[in-house]
Amino acid sequence: MTVGDLWFLAEAADQRAERAYHAFTDRYDEFLTFERTDHVSHGRFRTLARRSRDCGTPYGVHTVVHREDGELLLVRHDGVDLWVLPGGCVEADETHREAARRELAEEAGVEVSTDGLAMVTRLTIRSGSHEMSGVLPVFAARAESHDPEISDPDCEISAARWFDRLPEDTRDREDLLTWRTEAF
């Protein structure tokens, strides 16, 4: 891929991310919005740009699952060595919501009732002189079953647990704490 091709890919990613963000604002009434800038390697930039071009979400979709007592469900992702929300990439034949449900089933196996959209992070992703946009939607759901059961086909998830106090090594910890304060 030439530099010009990467620029064109980043432009297509920007356009798709903007359409995805507006689709979320049109469909859902209330959710928190955050902004974040990530600096990545050239190879990672290309991968994320392709994902964003295809569905607007370079890091996929996630779900914040809560119980009545306010505990949140996190999964241990071995690839990043952090506690994270269950989630992953959107496949070609899925909506964002369908992908979130599938990923939740694979990574934590709990039954939920969907509450809507909890938050969207508007992303700027940079690599050297290249820049593109993306969105990271996080759906909200209430747990109906409480015992997590991992059936992750990618073998990235090693644990699933409920937390009253989020571990320090939780990805996007501050965003989750802000959401929890707003939601409860």
Q: Tell me the per-residue pLDDT of 96-135, one tens digit each, with 9 for 90 and over.
A: 999 999 999 999 999 899 889 999 999 999 999 999 999 9
CATH superfamily of 3-183: Nucleoside Triphosphate Pyrophosphohydrolase (3.90.79.10)
**Distance in angstroms (rounded) separating the CA atoms of residues 135 and 35:** 9
Name the pTM for this structure.
0.93
**Distance in angstroms (rounded) separating the CA atoms of residues 96 and 59:** 12
Please provide the size of the chain in residues: 184
Could you tell me the pLDDT band of residue 161, with boundaries at 50, 70 and 90? very high
Angle at 141 between CA 135 and CA 144, to 5 degrees: 155
Q: Tell me the per-residue pLDDT of 144-157, one tens digit each, with 9 for 90 and over.
A: 877 898 888 888 99
Please tell me the predicted confidence (pLDDT) of residue 6: 87
Q: Tell me the per-residue pLDDT of 17-71, one tens digit each, with 9 for 90 and over.
A: 999 999 999 999 899 999 999 999 999 999 999 999 999 999 999 999 999 888 9
Please tell me the predicted confidence (pLDDT) of residue 149: 87
Please tell me the predicted confidence (pLDDT) of residue 1: 54
Please tell me the predicted confidence (pLDDT) of residue 2: 58
**Distance in angstroms (rounded) separating the CA atoms of residues 119 and 103:** 17
